[in-house]
């Protein structure tokens, strides 16, 4: 079972991790242990997926899912912590990133949430993995949430940065208070033709701006950024990103094969698997307070706020805190 919070919080379900992570959060090692030097490829559903596979082949599986505009290197310092504890760790590039490609030239460059959830399940199927602990942030957290909600039998446990991120197109059309709308400025930029062209033309500069604003206290260096920005040179990247954000506003259609799944997700189904949600104390990206979404988790649940100037890219900024959460929800529970 999930441990009780170390310190009392008003909701009785939150933990604030005081002090810095065990490694300084401001830098991420470039190159690390070399675990990410070998990227494998596998056909999985509509994709050919590039991924890292580390740790013992017979260990309990952890699936780590990155966000936008980031890549698999967000987990460069998390993976060694998990493999040292005996886990097999899979880290795929999401569609539109790195060496992952759509297998058909005619395929829609689709970024809707249900498609990404199906991608994750197809990836597990392709590697003959029945169940895994899912963990992610940003787009990756939303994808992990989708899998946990729709296919709980495939999810041993869940770690989701910024909590419950499932939503539907209709609610995405509803206006927010002005301050909240301001935080989503890039979504409205992407809704325009100017924004589509601007992102395609200035992808790396745009990504660097998001990194800075989403993690204002993270002192990453050029080498760390450049290592991840290379994944954004994927030929489908800009189209998938633009579709993702336009879909959220109801300005782009999804594909018919995902319609039933999106209908289910629009009801905001509860998540029943053991879950830990995480939030950095300096997250500059749009996010809800944990008390808003706590009710969406019907199984064993705990929220942790990670302090020390931790922003949106929490696995890279606070790898030990992220790995600790993964190892806890991924540990088989005993009764009694």
pLDDT tens digits along 33-59: 467 889 999 999 999 999 999 999 999
Least confident span in 211-215, 232-236, 267-271, 327-331: 327-331
Report pLDDT digits (tens) over 251-310.
999 999 999 999 999 999 999 999 999 999 999 999 999 999 999 999 999 999 999 999
For 145-174, the pLDDT digits (tens) are 999 999 999 999 999 999 999 998 888 788
Reported as a pLDDT band with limits 50, 70 and 90, residue 333 is low
Instruction: Report which of 267, 277, 34, 47 is spatially closest to residue 162, judged by C-alpha positions.
Output: 277
CA distance 31 to 53: 16
pLDDT for the residue 330: 79
- More confident call, 135 vs 332: 135
Scored b (16 or more CB within 10 A) or e, 54-78 reads bbeeeebbbbbbbbbbbbbbbbbbb
- pLDDT score of 276: 98
pLDDT average, residue stretch 85-110: 97
pLDDT of residue 272: 98
Q: What are phi and psi of 12, to 5 degrees?
A: 80, 5
Task: Indicate whether 14 pLDDT > 50.
Answer: no
CB 118 within 8 A of CB 258: yes
Residue 171: predicted pLDDT? 81
Asked whether the CA dihedral 316, 318, 322, 328 is positive or negative, the reply is positive
pLDDT at 332: 61
- Which residue is associated with the tokens 């992220």? 322
What's the pLDDT band for 116 if we cut at 50, 70, 90? very high
Q: Which domains does the chain have, with CATH numbers?
A: 14-329 (3.40.50.1820)
Residue 225: is its pLDDT beyond 90? yes
Q: Which pLDDT belongs to residue 7?
A: 26
What pLDDT is stored for residue 9 in this prediction?
34
State the pLDDT at residue 169: 87
pLDDT over threshold 80, residue 31: no
pLDDT score recorded for residue 172? 77
Q: What is the mean pLDDT of residues 198-214?
A: 98
Residue 137, classified by CB atoms within 10 Å of its CB into exposed (0-12), middle (13-18) or buried (19+), is buried
Higher pLDDT, 219 or 21: 219
Note the pLDDT tens digit of each residue in 230-250: 999 999 999 999 999 999 999
């Amino acid at each position: 079972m999930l441990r009780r919070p170390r310190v009392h919080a008003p909701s009785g379900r939150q933990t604030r991790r005081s002090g810095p992570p065990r490694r300084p959060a401001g830098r991420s090692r470039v190159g690390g242990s070399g675990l990410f030097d070998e990227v494998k490829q596998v056909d999985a559903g509509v994709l050919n997926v590039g991924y890292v596979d580390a740790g013992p082949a017979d260990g309990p599986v952890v699936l780590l899912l990155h966000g936008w505009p980031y890549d698999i290197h967000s987990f460069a310092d998390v993976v060694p912590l998990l493999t040292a504890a005996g886990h097999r760790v899979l880290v795929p590039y999401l569609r539109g990133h790195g060496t992952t490609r759509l297998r058909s030239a005619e395929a829609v460059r689709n970024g809707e949430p249900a498609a990404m959830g199906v991608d994750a399940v197809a990836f597990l199927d392709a590697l003959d993995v029945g169940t895994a602990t899912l963990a992610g942030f940003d787009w990756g957290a939303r994808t992990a949430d989708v899998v946990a909600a729709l296919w709980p039998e495939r999810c041993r446990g869940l770690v989701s940065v910024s909590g419950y991120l499932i939503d539907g197109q209709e609610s995405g059309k509803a206006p927010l208070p002005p301050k909240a709308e301001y935080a989503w400025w890039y979504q409205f930029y992407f809704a325009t033709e100017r924004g589509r062209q601007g992102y395609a033309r200035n992808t790396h500069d745009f990504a660097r701006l998001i990194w800075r604003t989403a993690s204002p206290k993270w002192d990453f260096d050029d080498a760390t950024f450049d290592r991840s920005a290379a994944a954004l040179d994927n030929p489908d990247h800009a189209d998938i990103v633009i579709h993702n954000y336009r879909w959220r506003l109801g300005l782009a259609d999804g594909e018919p094969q995902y319609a039933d799944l999106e209908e289910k997700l629009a009801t905001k189904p509860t998540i029943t698997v053991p879950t830990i949600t995480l939030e950095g104390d300096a997250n500059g990206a749009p996010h809800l307070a944990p008390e808003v979404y706590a009710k969406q988790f019907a199984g064993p649940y705990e929220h942790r706020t990670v302090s020390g100037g931790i922003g949106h890219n929490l696995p890279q900024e606070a790898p030990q805190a992220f790995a600790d959460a993964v190892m806890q929800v991924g540990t088989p529970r005993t009764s009694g």
